[in-house]
Amino acid sequence: MVITYRKSIAQTPDLSSIIFPDGHNVSFNYTSTEREDLKGAFPLSHIDMSYLGRSLSRYKLNTTYFIRNRYGTPITDFQKRDARLCLKSVQKIGVDLKEEALPYIFDFTQAQILLMILYHLPFFMQKMYGVFTMVLTLRVLMKKISH
């Protein structure tokens, strides 16, 4: 029996903005540094929300990498192979980008479980998982802000 396979790299578009009919606009801004865990993709840097051209708020996203049982910046090829991007903190900057709140810092005590799940997902599912996590995080943030 002969088994053959080929590898492919999926190219999916990144979300850049959402424009609402009432004049609200949400812009997604990415860093210029390519992700270590997902070649060809770039992590989100910040999300801007505006209304009729006036800035309402910005959410700065601070990311790092899970590397096996710790997190930090991967340096060696071995670390880069095992690295998985994670959201470390979110900081809200208020109206007209003038007011800064303290960042909300995430505590990853269950990082090993997340690593095991992400480590075994195929490429396209890693991308979907990242978008799902981003949307879920935004929903949680919007609920906290509206209360």
Residue-wise pLDDT for 45-69, tens only, equals 999 999 999 999 999 999 988 887 7
- Residue 84 backbone dihedrals phi, psi, to 5 degrees: -135, 125
Residue-wise pLDDT for 81-100, tens only, equals 888 888 888 999 988 888 88
DSSP string, 18-75: EE-TTSEEEEEEE-SSPPSSSTT---EEEEEEEETTEEEEEEEEEEEEEETTEEE---
Q: What pLDDT sits at residue 106?
A: 77
Residue-wise pLDDT for 113-143, tens only, equals 455 455 555 444 444 445 545 555 555 555 5
